Every structure is written in C-alpha cells, then in structure tokens.
Structure 1
Amino acid sequence: MTLADFKQAPWRNSHKKYSDSALAISPAPEYASSEVLVSSLYRTIGFETVSEGSVPQAGRDHDKFVQKHRDRKRTEPAGALVGADTWSTIIHGVLESPKLPNQSSKRFLQVSPLVPGLAVFSGSARLSTNSWHAGGLIRRMIWLGSKDEASAGLLWAELFSAMNVGESDDVFARWLREETSAWTAPSPSWKLVPTPQGEATGLADSDYGRLQFPARQFTKDLVAIVAAKNSMTRRQWVSLLEAILRLAAVSHVTWLCDVQARIWRNVQAALTEDDSNGDGRIAVSVFPQSPQYMAYGGKALSGFKDKASSYLQSRLGINAVLWSLEDVGQPYVGTLSSSEDVAGLCRHIRQNRAALAHAAISKTIAEVLESEARALLCKKGIGSNLYEFARHCLGQRQSANPLLRGYDQGYVLRKSGTSAASPWVVSLGPVSVLALVHCALFGMGGPRSIQRLVQHLAAYGVAVDRNDIASSDLGHQLRMLGLVLDSPDAESGMLLLPPFPASDDVAVQST
C-alpha cells in the first residue's frame, strides 16, 4: 500500500498503525437500536458460529419453518410445548419489537431479545448480509475500560453468565429459552466466545490511572447491572442492560472522536512548530479531562455531527501524514495507543519535517480533505453512519405501529414535540433513570446526595445542573419512580434512594 493508493480511496486504505490503534473507532458504527446492540452482544459473547450477516436470512427461514408446521395441522418440532399457531403469536405478538415508520411495508422478523436464542434470527442492524458488528464495539469497550486483560476477561465471563438463562431466571424466560431452541433448526451452541487476541488491548497504565472516560465508567456499571439481575424479571433486567449499553456506546464513540481530533491538533502542530507543546504537554492534551457532549434538556444531535466531522478530518489528516512518512522513507515504527505514543509520533514528524515539506505534505492533506468535502459534512459515508448510530441508539424508538409508540422507555433523547421536524432533546426515559440511579448508588448501601447522579452522568459526557433537577422532568421522573427523598438538608433538597435491594453475590469487582 502506498500514499497514491490512500489518495485514491482514503476511507478504505487506512494505515496499519492507525487501524491497529486501541483508540481507533472499530468496528465502524452504523445504524443500531438498543435491541440491535443487545442481540449482537448475544451473538458476540455466546454464538461463535452465528455471523451478523446470517441473521436476516435466518429470520426468513424461521418464518418459513413455522409456516410449514402451521400448514400441517397439529404438528410441532421435537421438544416444542406449543403449536405453530401459538408460537407464531408469541413471535409476532408477545415478543414483537416495533418497526420504524420507514419499515412498515417490509417483512422481516424483529423481536425483543429476551433470551440468547432469539438473537440467532432477529436483531440485525441491516436486512442484508453486510451488517456491522455492533457486539464487537461493546467488547472493545470492555477491554479499553478495564485496568488490565485479566479484569476484562473476568468481566466478559461474568457478563456471559448473566446473559445466560439459568435456574435463577423467571419461569417465562426459562420456558422461552427451551421453546426457542426447539423452533430453531439447527440450534447453535451457546458457550462463552473468547476475545480475539488482536482486540484484547487497553489503555496504557500511565493513561488509565489518571483518566475518567466513558468506557471505564461502563465497566463499573456493567458490574452493577449484573449484580441487579436477581432482583427482577428477565425482561426488566434486559431493559436495564439496554439502557446502559446505548448511553455508554454513543458516549464512547463520541469520546474517541474527541481524542482523534486532539491527536490531529498535536500532529498539525508538529508539522509547523519546532517544539510543538513539548512531550509532557502533548501527553496531557491528547485526552479530554472533563468532556461534555450533551447538556440535559438541550439539543444534542448537532453536537454529535460536529464531533463526527472533526473525527473524519482528523482521520484523513493522520493517515495522510503516516502514508507520507512511508513515502519519504521514514516510516513511523511505534504504535498509536497511548499519549506517549502520540508524543513519539510528533517527535518523529518534527525530525522529518524537512522531508515531509519537500514531499508537499500540506498540499497532500489539502487535496484529500477537498476531495472528501461532502463526507466531512456527514452527508454520506462514515459521517452519516455515525450520526445515524447516535440518533437511533439514544433516541426513543419511533414506531410504525401506533399501539407500540410507548414501547421504548430506556431512551436518552426524545422528541420535544409531536411534529416530525421537532428536535431531539436530552431527556432520560424511566428505565434509563432506574439504571443510572442504581449504578450511581451501587455499593453505597443507602441514600446519597443527588450529586452522585450528576457525577455519574458527567462520566458519560452528560452535563446536568443539580440545582435544576428538582424542577425538571428528571426530578419528576425520580419522584414518580420513588427514587428520591425530599430533604431540606440535602443538595437541591433531594436524596437518591437505591432502586433495588443490595446484592452480596457479586463475583466481579469494580475497576
């Protein structure tokens, strides 16, 4: 691969040093609802033989299989306890997940991912064979947010155990597990899938120890969500898991966009300045200290689009520099997974600035950016996909069926009005409020100040003024759910109450 190849297809020909970085956005996010995240996570963590692309066809095959048994009166597969008519009612009624308004005329199987077996034939991001690997993104978040590989592996195994349907699950979940297996032919094996060696990378110890970032908070919250499983039904627990996944995934991707933009600013400085900011200051400037990506009650999607656009420009610029270094015979030999690595790259650029200038690096960067101007505006390609990812992960599900319009209660964004043109504003649904309050108070053993929730949301880049909570819709949700105790002695006059009983059987420790 050469610089000329990169110029011809800049999005396809990323430099290996860039694509192998722990800070790269991989896999590249596209459209995904919260249920797609859960379904794909089932396949990633427990179904080694089920690929993302096989799911749409498996759904069509499942419907044909059920219809075949409906045509043969009083027949059902071995092990099934209900007939084909009843099973069809469960799949297309009891477990039905709403389709989007633009999907109302499309025929495909889409159900709530209550048990692993349902993810074999439902919950694909696309209705074709080239769906992106949403579960892989969650897996990378766990490894990046854990202090070391052993901690990540332990959390991965504990999450698998929790997502499994065992004897501690409710009767309906256990029955659904067996019935789904009987109606799936052939039924794939459900067992823990090890993480590929190339993905088992995290932040350097020097960075991890001083940073608070979304993936790190996510690993802590997963411990809390796993601990809460025995306090509720399977459906309730999966809803809590969805709520944390959707906020954490978008915050993580936005944080990576922010980091990439910061790396690019340092690389640009190295191309034009003798000393740049100094290695120590570069190390500090690579990672945001207190990122804010959303303000509660405010519009959010325009901010996501800006971050995505900055990321795209940074990606093109960093790759152009790496390929140019190759072209002048001075390739960068380090990695790009830590602040020290970025400082090393900047040193290497400064040492070879004359050669890069002679090779017209500034002209190369300008040409690449100009040729991809529409993509940089998020009108198409990766930028548009990132925008759709944030919109559908965080936004309340818009249903083609009016009867299911209240189906999604774990949202982070909601429409501010009834018009299709109404903007999306940051407003937590009741399930998200329950999940976040539980995670914020996990291990505390009693009421705490409302400031705990404010700090917890801030870890995901959501800014909330604690003085506004009491009079906002967040305060209303907290009161309606019985999660606060009004106290004149507390900040904002409110104390948070744990929503679920404390659990003593937690096998993993917060990192």
Structure 2
Amino acid sequence: MTLATFKQAPWKRENTHAKYKESALSISPSPEYASSEVLVASLYRTIGFASASEGSVPQAGRDLDRKLQRLRDKRLPPPNGTTLRVDTWNTVLHGVLESPKLPNQSSKRFLQVTPMVPSVALFSGSARLSSNSWPAGSLVRRMVWLGSKNHETALRLWTDLFLALSIGEQDDVFAQWLEQETFAWNGPSSTWQLAPVAASDVATLASADFDEVPFLPARQFAKDLRAVIDAKEAMTRRQWTSLLEAVLRLAAVAHLTWLCDVQARTWRCLSEALAGKGPAGEAEARLSIFPNAPQYMTYGGKALHGLKDRASGYLAARLGINTLLWSLEQAGAPFTEDLSSSQGIARLCQHVRNHGAALEAVGIAATLVDIREREARALNCKKGIGANLLEFARHALGQRQTAVHLLRGYDQGYVLRKKGSSPASPWVVSLGPVAVLALVHCALAGMGGPRSIHRLGQHLAAYGIVVDRYDIARNDLGQQLRMLGLVLDSPDAESGMLLLPPFPITQATT
C-alpha cells in the first residue's frame, strides 16, 4: 500500500492504514442500517452462535418458510419433537411473534420475528435481506470491552450477558417452550454456546485514559448492562429483552457519536502538530482528545442535524489521519506505535513535529486539499460511510415506522419520535415508556431507594442527552414518569419529584 493507492479510493477498508485500523478508538465495525431488534438478534449470533454468519440468516428464513409451505401443501406431519401443528406454528411465526415491517418492506416476503429467544436469531433479525449484512453484534462486543477496565472484567460481563441471554429454568414457561419449539422446527443447525473472543476483535483503553476520561458512554453502558442483567428475574422474558433493547439502542448511538467526536478532536491535534504546535504530552493530549461533558442531543429538540455534524467531522478526521499516516510512510518516517491512547496520540504529534519538513516535501497540504475536494459529497454525509452512520442512528434511536398503521405502537423503547404525522416531520428526542423504565432502573441501580429527579438527568447526560431537571415536571418525560408510577411528588425534592425504583431488584442491589 502507498499514499497514491489511498488517494484513489480513500474509503476502502483495505486502503485504511494499519495503525488507524488497529486503534481501539476506530469505528469498527462500520455501521449501517440496524433496528433495535436487529441489534439484539445479531448479539445472539455474536455471543452464542459462532458458526452462524450474518449472511446465512436471510436464506435460513426463506428455507424455513419454504419448509412450512411444503408441509402445509402436502399435509405432512410436523418434525419430531414439536408440539404444534404446521398451520399453528406458521401462525406463531407470522402472527404472534412477527415483528412489523417498515413501509418500504410491505411488498417483500421475508421472515421477521421478535428476538425473544436465541434460536430465532438463526433465521431472523438480519440487517439486510442479502448475504452481506454487517455484524451489529460485534459493535456491542467492542462496547463491552471499551467500557470495561481490563480484559478480565470485560470477559466476566460478556459471560454474564451470555448466561442472561440463555434460556434456563429462571425464564418464564413461554420462553422455555418457544426455545424448545423453535429448535425442533429449525433443526440443530448451530449449537448455542459461548463463542470465543479473539483479541483482534476487541480492545480496551489504557488504564490511565479509562480512569481519567470523564465522559465515556461505553463505560456507562457496561454499568447499565450489569443493572439490566440483575433485573432479569423481576420480569418476563419479553419484558426483559425490551429493556435490553432500550439500553442497547441508546448506548450504541452514543458510543459511535463519542468515537466520531474523539476522531475529530484527534485530527485537530494532529493538524496543530503539522503547524508545529499541538499537545506536548500525555496529559495535555488527553484533555484535547477526549470530550469532557459534550451535548450530543437536547431533550425535546431535533437530533439528526447534530449527529450529522459529528459524522461529518469524523469523516474529515478519518481522511486527514490516514493521509498523514500514509504521507509519513511516503516520507520514509513511518509511525510504528499504536493510536489507542492519549499517550500514543501525543507521540504521533511529536513525530509529526519532528518530521514536518519531510511531510512538507511530499506535499501533504496539497494532498489533503485534493482529497477533500474530491470527497466533498461523502464528507457531507450524502453517500457512503456518513450516510450509513446517520441511517444507523435514525433507525436505532427512532420509533419504528410500520407498514401496518395499526402496529404503529409496537415500538415503545425509542429515543426519538416524529414530531408530527407528516413524513417530513423532524425527529425529536423523546423517550418511549420502555426506555424510561430502563433508564430509571439503571439510574437507580445500587441506590437502595428513591433519589432526586436530578439523578435521571445525570444518567442521560452520561450518554450525551441534555435535559433540564426543572423542565421534567412540565414536559412529556415528566408525564411518562407519572403515568408509569416512577415518581413521587415531594415538595422537599428538586423539581418536586423523587424517582422510584421500577423493579424490586433495584432496591436489593448493593
């Protein structure tokens, strides 16, 4: 690989510089469309079905549909081990458990089932209906590792998540029956067991960065994931998977937005280093690279424009950092250390300052201008990676728009909702009832009783959502809290409201 090859196709993964690609702060895997249910289904496959690829899921769904149709047409008996007739099982898949299709999918025939148990993930919940779907579950796995202090802590949480996702005696009768019935109809195509985690697939932050960085959505996600796991026995399987979905969708988008922010800040440091400035040491680099208390979204406000700005900043940074790394190679002064920590970025800044003349000789300034001009449409998120990032954020956070109008209330764990009924209406930040339950539970986990409404505001801020605690009493969030019985009006509390734990486990947690 050379600088010239990178310039020809700067967005190709194989043209990305190895040091950039290997960084714990890189966006990997590159997101595309995924709803909250796709995230959960892909998580099943990533954590427990090592032999099941994302690309095999759509075909497995079509095969199962054809099998059911053949059995119905020929009036054949169901497979051994099943408890339902063919017509009844078909009704379960296409009625009871069916997940609503999007408006643009109304004419398409494919199997889409609520990811309540692991076995359904083998034939449903793919991001695409083709064989080249992206592994959304790998994103969750990277979040667990980046949000944990070290590999051992991350692996312990990942193992506990696997056990919680598994179906056991602690699950309700319907969930146990559904897992057995699905397995009997689908056949032993893959075994449910904890999949090995390759070191190349995960990364943790340097201990100094993990301890010193004040705002790290992945760290909050790891804590919230533990709280969700602890709450499993307090509800049915369907309720618990809905709770998990709500946390996953918010954390995933906040994590990606944070990575975009970090990348943009890193490029700013490197741009200053090209001018002979920039951070001079690890501590200074940490302050420059990692945001302190960013505001990615405001409760009640429009969300997608701000996310687009972050994505655009990331794309510019990705082009700039890779151009710089390849230019160093061209100048005969390659950077050989890692870019996963503030210390690594500080050393790269010093390396750039040391070889400023060589970089100027290979024409890095002209190269940067040329690439930006050619990739202006991509940098504006009109196509490619930027458009995919926005599509992911919109579908992960937004309330599901259904082809069947009667099912418009199916999704209750959303973070964004349409402000009006028009297709052109903006998406505004507004939590659905399940999202409210999930976040209140996570905010109070380990608290042992009621807390001020300010606690919920702090928890939302940990994901980059800003809400004025004095407005909660008057906005739709306050209405949701009252309707769900999650607040106690008290004149002695801030805003006159106290948060109440939604599940018994919250009070028992120490």
**How would you bin the TM-score normalised by the shorter chain?**
over 0.9
Counterpart secondary structure, 1:137: helix
Question: Residue 323 of structure 1 aligns to which amino acid in structure 2?
Answer: W
Query: Contact (CA 8 Å) 2:147, 2:219: kept in 1 or not?
Result: yes
CA distance in 1, matches of 2:203, 2:134: 21
CA distance in 2, matches of 1:339, 1:284: 9
Taking the TM superposition and a 5 Å limit, the aligned residue runs for 1:138-217 are 138-211=140-213, 212-217=215-220
CA distance in 2, matches of 1:472, 1:395: 19
Question: Residue 333 of structure 2 aligns to which amino acid in structure 1?
Answer: Q
Taking the TM superposition and a 5 Å limit, the aligned residue runs for 1:68-147 are 68-73=70-75, 75-147=77-149
Question: Residue 114 of structure 2 aligns to which amino acid in structure 1?
Answer: S
CA distance in 2, matches of 1:503, 1:189: 34
| Displacement after TM superposition at 1:356 (Å) | 0.4
Query: Contact (CA 8 Å) 1:74, 1:83: kept in 2 or not?
Result: no
Aligned partner of 1:61 among 42, 60, 63: 63
Aligned partner of 1:436 among 436, 439, 443: 439
Query: Contact (CA 8 Å) 1:227, 1:505: kept in 2 or not?
Result: no
CA distance in 2, matches of 1:346, 1:259: 15
| Displacement after TM superposition at 1:504 (Å) | 9.1
Aligned partner of 2:338 among 329, 335, 338: 335
Spell out, residue by residue over 1:466-486, the C-alpha distance to the aligned partner (whole angstroms, 9 max, x if none).
Answer: 000000000000000000000
Question: Residue 18 of structure 1 aligns to which amino acid in structure 2?
Answer: Y
Aligned partner of 1:385 among 383, 388, 399: 388
Taking the TM superposition and a 5 Å limit, the aligned residue runs for 1:457-468 are 457-468=460-471
Cα RMSD over matched residues?
1.1
| Displacement after TM superposition at 1:73 (Å) | 2.1
Aligned partner of 2:352 among 344, 349, 352: 349
- Name the % identity: 65
Aligned partner of 2:291 among 288, 293, 296: 288
Aligned partner of 1:423 among 405, 426, 429: 426
CA distance in 2, matches of 1:503, 1:329: 58
Aligned partner of 1:302 among 301, 305, 320: 305
CA distance in 2, matches of 1:388, 1:478: 29
Partner of 1:41: 43
Taking the TM superposition and a 5 Å limit, the aligned residue runs for 1:238-257 are 238-257=241-260
Counterpart secondary structure, 2:212: coil
Question: Residue 322 of structure 1 aligns to which amino acid in structure 2?
Answer: L
Spell out, residue by residue over 1:379-414, the C-alpha distance to the aligned partner (whole angstroms, 9 max, x if none).
Answer: 100000000000000000000011211000000000
Matched pairs, number: 506
Question: Residue 34 of structure 1 aligns to which amino acid in structure 2?
Answer: S
CA distance in 2, matches of 1:354, 1:410: 54
Counterpart secondary structure, 1:220: helix
CA distance in 2, matches of 1:251, 1:176: 33
Partner of 1:446: 449
CA distance in 2, matches of 1:358, 1:74: 76
Question: Residue 376 of structure 2 aligns to which amino acid in structure 1?
Answer: A
Counterpart secondary structure, 1:161: helix
Question: Residue 358 of structure 1 aligns to which amino acid in structure 2?
Answer: A
Counterpart secondary structure, 1:288: coil
Structure 2 stretches lacking a partner, 5+ long: none
Q: Is 1:400 aligned to residue 403 of structure 2?
A: yes
CA distance in 2, matches of 1:73, 1:431: 42
Question: Residue 342 of structure 1 aligns to which amino acid in structure 2?
Answer: I
| Displacement after TM superposition at 1:370 (Å) | 1.0
Counterpart secondary structure, 1:183: helix
CA distance in 2, matches of 1:187, 1:179: 14
Partner of 2:322: 319
Question: Residue 441 of structure 2 aligns to which amino acid in structure 1?
Answer: H
Partner of 1:4: 4
Partner of 2:240: 237
Q: Is 1:489 aligned to residue 492 of structure 2?
A: yes
| Displacement after TM superposition at 1:287 (Å) | 0.2
CA distance in 2, matches of 1:48, 1:75: 31
| Displacement after TM superposition at 1:505 (Å) | 9.0
- TM-score normalised by the chain length of structure 1: 0.98
Partner of 2:223: 220
| Displacement after TM superposition at 1:277 (Å) | 3.7
CA distance in 2, matches of 1:357, 1:329: 13
CA distance in 2, matches of 1:161, 1:503: 20
| Displacement after TM superposition at 1:184 (Å) | 0.4
| Displacement after TM superposition at 1:278 (Å) | 2.6
Counterpart secondary structure, 1:265: helix
CA distance in 2, matches of 1:178, 1:169: 13
CA distance in 2, matches of 1:189, 1:397: 31
Counterpart secondary structure, 1:31: coil
Question: Residue 172 of structure 1 aligns to which amino acid in structure 2?
Answer: F
CA distance in 2, matches of 1:505, 1:152: 24
Question: Residue 8 of structure 2 aligns to which amino acid in structure 1?
Answer: Q
| Displacement after TM superposition at 1:188 (Å) | 1.2
Partner of 1:374: 377
Spell out, residue by residue over 1:177-222, the C-alpha distance to the aligned partner (whole angstroms, 9 max, x if none).
Answer: 0000011034310000121111232110111001231000000000
Counterpart secondary structure, 1:209: helix
Structure 1 stretches lacking a partner, 5+ long: none
Question: Residue 395 of structure 1 aligns to which amino acid in structure 2?
Answer: G
Query: Contact (CA 8 Å) 2:280, 2:350: kept in 1 or not?
Result: no
Taking the TM superposition and a 5 Å limit, the aligned residue runs for 1:353-364 are 353-364=356-367
| Displacement after TM superposition at 1:503 (Å) | 6.4
CA distance in 1, matches of 2:506, 2:185: 35
CA distance in 2, matches of 1:165, 1:67: 29
Query: Contact (CA 8 Å) 1:55, 1:124: kept in 2 or not?
Result: yes
CA distance in 2, matches of 1:370, 1:91: 50
Query: Contact (CA 8 Å) 2:299, 2:429: kept in 1 or not?
Result: yes
Spell out, residue by residue over 1:277-314, the C-alpha distance to the aligned partner (whole angstroms, 9 max, x if none).
Answer: 43242221100011110000000001111110100000
CA distance in 1, matches of 2:219, 2:87: 46
Which stretches of structure 1, 4 residues or longer, exceed 3 Å deviation after superposition? 503-506
Question: Residue 265 of structure 1 aligns to which amino acid in structure 2?
Answer: R
- TM-score normalised by the chain length of structure 2: 0.98
Give the stretch that moved more between structures: 74-83 or 11-20. Answer: 74-83
Question: Residue 167 of structure 1 aligns to which amino acid in structure 2?
Answer: E
